Amino acid sequence: MTPAVALTAALVLLAILLVPGYVLLRGLGVLRLQALAGAPAIAALELGALAVVCHWTGLPWTRTTALGGLAVLTCAALPLRRLTMRGRQPGPQPRPWPPLLIALGLAALVSGTAWMIGAQDIDAAMQASDGVWHLNAAAYVRTLLDAYPVGALAPMYWGEIHYYPVAWHSLVAILPGTIPTSANLVALLGLSVVWPLGCASLLAALFPVGRRTVLDGMPVLAGTLASTAATAPFVMMTTLWPYGWSVCLLPGVLALIVTARRVPAFYLRRGSQSPWGGALAAALAAMGLVYVHGAAAFNLAILGAPVLLVASMEAVRGWWGRTPHSRLVVLGACAALVLLVVAGAHVFWDQLSMLLSYSRSRAVVSTVFVEALRDDVMIYRIPDAGVGSALLTVMAMIGVVVSVRREIHRWAVLAAALAMLLLVASVWAASPLHILATPWYVQKSRILPLLEIPVLVLAMTALREALAHLRTVRERTGPRGGARWRRVVAGALALVAVVVPVATAAVRAPLHERVVAYAYQPEVSVWPVMLAPGEREFLESSAELLPEGAIILSEPTNGSAYYWSLTGTEVVFPSLRRNSEPDRLYVSEHATQIRTDPEVCAALGRLGAHYLYLDADRSEGRVPAGGERARWRNSLKNFPIGALRLVATDGTHSLWLITACGWEE
């Protein structure tokens, strides 16, 4: 992969993420920063709609059709502003603020550098077990030219039709370059651009900068940098790409929800010049977020519901006694909401029942509070020692007191409490609360982003209070006597409140480098490895020796599953999980009997698999975490050599033609 191709792919990705959504949101009257931060979620929604249209009309899902469709939607959104602002006088538009641009640039530099150092190469293949699944799934979307969420990934389910959120895969499929490069670019820009931009938008909405001085804007500036200290986005984007992508989009969507209030409170920035435009923008962005990953609906329930609850209580008080029928309107709205939830549960009951039956090994509840204090990675394989983000969390605790006393950002207090409840429920297996964490597969690391966002907001609430206290002390006291010490103390507190978030971001960067390295570098990986150092080069060179349409048989955890995403050579087992399809199951169980059981050759013929891949070193070069072991019992590694003819080898890895069935190629 040349740097020019990678740069081209990055620019195409940025254009897809920012341009169509920005134009639409600006057409709805949303202000610039919120429109830019919410644009990726709108782009996800538009790509999803285009994928459905392409499937129904028989159009292929290619870069041309996707970009062409986005261009049509963007042009269609251009006249929206006239409709939105009809009868309204446009208000003053805040201009780009250089200090915020610098803060966003620094945040991108910190996170982007951490990712690049950890991965080492933009074309690297992720080694975590879910990585090979999603790489192959994206390769199928690109090859089969279909991004319909119901059935597009049928080859990954042995031909069975299932619903699966393919927003991430469809985005990766239309980017230039290899599948690993495209996947890594989405991760890189998600961590270095989308996440900090969303956090900046949320903070700018909650802490409006009136005079636009650096001191007044410090909660936004320091908070933008502090957003890079969040651990969960890095963990998710190196283990669970689609869910991690939805996590990166979450702050930008939340900012639109926060600013969608018709009459914002005194401490909130106006989000849109049109009340209905702001509400529609928030709804569309939320739909795009949920399309990316279904679990995002639960994330929005934890973070967005408190925002709407605090806002709706004021509206309910006003409506309740306004007219004789107003109470019926309120009760009807509540009933409609309940019916919507019940209908959604009924439609997705298969997925929900699967989640409700999911379980993990229990852990000590008390450790969760320590991990939350430190913003731990919450995955036992990844070591994380030291103070972590404890000081930022302590600031957030102070922010809780400020929030309650000042009656500002109370939704963040409620959201943080709910997130902590879910974290406790995820490890307290003996408690009825355990069921609450099942939408997140009772996995702490999936829940962690729901704590990090309100913690950031509450920490900046404490920072703003410290700056306000400093300003008050300066106004009320003189430069001499005892008053001088009060000024010094207030200044010191304000300085500490500014330094802590910025320093936390710097301190956590090395951990983020290691988190990425653990998923990409075999020599330091904490995950069992499938691709040994140098094995990828053998896969790519050996694939060039194969005829078009060749299919390879092998046990997938030995690295062979990467043939499909890296070289475009199809494999019998693109997933690590056990296969229940009859031919695949029979071959895997009776491979050693190929010379005596004609049904083995018959099954291989129906599968089209004429080649076999073997790996003689299952320690994968004696890497620290060892090689990934087979997930199900099979005899593929014991294939009789007498039934094969060597095609290529590097001494450890080998590709063979299965000659026992009479095949010559």
615 phi/psi in degrees, rounded to 5: -125, 115
Write the DSSP symbol of residue 553.
Answer: E
Dist. CA 200–CA 164, nearest whole Å: 31
Is-contact 517 599, C-beta < 8 A? no
Residue 264: the pLDDT is 44
CA distance 48 to 70: 11
Query: Residue 272 CB: number of other CB atoms within 10 A?
Result: 25
What's the pLDDT score for residue 99? 93
Domain ranges for the chain, please list them. Answer: 3-87+96-520, 535-658
Length of the chain: 665
Q: What does the pLDDT read at residue 267?
A: 44
Q: pLDDT tens for residues 373-403?
A: 998 887 777 877 778 899 999 999 999 999 9
CB 435 within 8 A of CB 359: no
Neighbours of 308 (CB within 10 A): 18
What phi, psi does 44 have (nearest 5°)? -60, -40
Residues 6 or more apart whose Cβ sits within 8 Å of residue 427? 362, 363, 364, 365, 367, 368, 442, 444
Is residue 6 within 8 A of residue 177, CB to CB? The reply is yes
Residue carrying the six token digits 């159009």: 59
Residue type, 221: L
User: pLDDT value at position 322?
Assistant: 60
* Torsion angle of C-alpha atoms 536, 541, 543, 547, degrees rounded to 10: 180
Give bridge partners of residue 551 from the DSSP assignment: 570, 609
Nearest alpha carbon to residue 450 among 474, 417, 424, 409: 417
CB 504 within 8 A of CB 512: no
Cβ–Cβ < 8 Å for 608, 551: yes
What dihedral angle (degrees, nearest 10) is formed by the CA atoms of 391, 397, 398, 400? Answer: 150
Three-state secondary structure call for residue 295: coil
pLDDT tens, position by position, 501-552: 999 999 999 999 999 999 999 888 888 889 988 899 999 999 999 999 999 9
- Is residue 218 within 8 A of residue 459, CB to CB? The reply is no
Q: In the structure, how many helices (H) and strands (E) does the chain have?
A: 26, 5
| Cβ atoms within 10 Å of 314's Cβ, excluding its own | 12
Q: What is the pLDDT of residue 299?
A: 94
* Distance (Å, whole) CA 147 – CA 54: 8
Q: Which two tokens stand for residue 277?
A: 């435009």
Q: What HEC string does 599-621 produce?
A: HHHHHHHHHCEEEEEEECCCCCC
DSSP 570-610: EES--SSSPP-SHHHHHHHHHGGGTTT-HHHHHHHHHHTEE
**Residue 347 pLDDT:** 62
Residues of the chain with pLDDT under 50: 262-267, 481
For residue 460, what are the CA distances in angstroms to 198, 216, 282?
15, 12, 23
Rounded CA gap, 205 and 255, in Å? 7
For helices 32-57 and 3-27, the axis angle rounded to 10 degrees is 100
